[in-house]
Amino acid sequence: MSGHGHGHGGGHSHGCCECDHEPAERGVEYELYRRIDIEKLQCLNESRDGDGKLVFKPWDQRTDRMKFVESDADEELLFNIPFTGSVKLKGIIISGEDDESHPAEMRLYKNIPQMSFDDTSREPEQAFRLNRDPLAELEYPTKIARFSNVQHLSIHISRNFGAESTHVYYIGLRGEYTEAHRHEVTICNYEAAANPADHKVETITPQTQFIS
């Protein structure tokens, strides 16, 4: 296991959104797990190989306690998540047990394939202090301008609420997806190759408006 970096620079976001959407409506929004290249997904410091892939699952399985990942050597986990195209990430839900093993801090990095714990000493794109959320109800909104062109997302669980190991049952990702063949254009020119119909989705609005 790579040496763990423990640099914790940068400000933290504290807010989360306990949305009032109906469950079925919210479930449609949390479909980005379908856009993960799941065979290439990595979870560092997982106690059992492959378990990190299990927490990216359908909305209606978010409280399923049979599929989870537990950290091994200490409380940290590092998910390296490649997408099959380009993603504009808008929000994350992360759920664990209602005890000290629940993640307490989440740090997000983008477009750093094969990220290791040594790399977590760098400044994250965004960091959150988490609340215990065993029912997967709390969304943490991202700074969309920083996550508008994501081909690879890394999620570093840097600590929990005091347990020796961390348990994660569900990670939900909300946002928009663009097919891979368009991502080079997206990198250079925001919305340069968009179809007219896309403009309804891509119109830049104040970042807080997507939380309802």
Is residue 98 situated within a structural domain? yes
Domain that includes residue 29, residue range: 23-179
Is residue 90 situated within a structural domain? yes
**Local confidence pLDDT in tens for the 212 residues of the chain:** 444 544 444 445 445 554 444 455 667 789 999 999 999 999 999 999 999 999 999 999 999 999 999 999 999 999 999 999 999 999 999 999 999 999 999 999 999 999 999 999 999 999 999 999 999 999 999 999 999 999 999 999 999 999 999 999 999 999 999 987 644 544 444 444 455 454 444 434 444 444 43
Is residue 186 situated within a structural domain? no
Query: What does the alpha-carbon distance between residue 148 and residue 152 come to, in Å, rounded to a whole number?
Result: 12
Is residue 199 situated within a structural domain? no
CATH of residue 168's domain is 2.60.120.470
Query: What does the alpha-carbon distance between residue 19 and residue 153 come to, in Å, rounded to a whole number?
Result: 24
Residue carrying the six token digits 């399923």: 64
Tell me if 141 sits within 8 A of 207, measured CB to CB: yes
Residue carrying the six token digits 């600590």: 159
Tell me if 80 sits within 8 A of 113, measured CB to CB: yes
Is residue 4 situated within a structural domain? no
Domain count, the chain: 1
Residue carrying the six token digits 């609420």: 161
